[in-house]
């Protein structure tokens, strides 16, 4: 094999890795955008998070739930979980606090070194990348 072919094949491999890596960065950004929208929603609703991510699109929080760039679909909504604090009838928190978690559902980014169902985000620890 000639040197030029080796260089060409190496460049193709690097380009493939860069493409795979380029899909995880916007996905992480989407997680942060969704988390910010969840926190704005909670601020406007006495600290309560929505029951689903689609509720964010019914207010002025998100126009739509973003799509993972690796799949072109919403891979975040299926994994969204929230835990509600115990509240009195007037909405006052009696114990605990509301929290949420969600992730990019599936094996969308395993080629970049991420585990299945990653990147992930939760309200207590923030972005979990691997």
Report pTM. 0.77
Helix, strand, coil % over all residues of the chain, rounded to 5: 40, 15, 45
For 21-64, how does the pLDDT look when each residue is reduced to its tens digit (9 = 90+)? 567 888 899 999 999 999 999 999 888 899 999 999 998 899 99
Residue 84, pLDDT score: 83
User: What is the Cα gyration radius of the chain?
Assistant: 19
* Helical (H) or strand (E) element with 28: helix 3-44
For 75-123, how does the pLDDT look when each residue is reduced to its tens digit (9 = 90+)? 999 999 998 877 778 777 777 788 999 998 988 888 888 888 889 999 9
In whole angstroms, what is the distance from residue 24 CA to residue 129 CA?
A: 9
């Amino acid at each position: 094999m000639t040197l030029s072919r080796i260089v060409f094949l190496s460049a193709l491999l690097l380009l493939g890795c860069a493409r795979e890596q380029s899909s995880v960065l916007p996905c992480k950004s989407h997680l942060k955008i969704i988390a910010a929208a969840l926190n704005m929603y909670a601020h406007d609703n006495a600290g309560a998070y929505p029951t689903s991510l689609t509720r964010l699109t019914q207010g002025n929080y998100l126009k739509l739930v973003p799509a993972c760039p690796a799949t072109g679909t919403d891979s975040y909504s299926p994994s969204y979980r929230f835990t509600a604090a115990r509240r009195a009838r007037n909405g006052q928190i009696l114990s605990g606090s509301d929290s949420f978690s969600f992730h990019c559902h599936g094996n969308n980014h395993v080629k970049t070194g991420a585990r299945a169902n990653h990147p992930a985000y939760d309200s207590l620890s923030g972005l979990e990348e691997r």
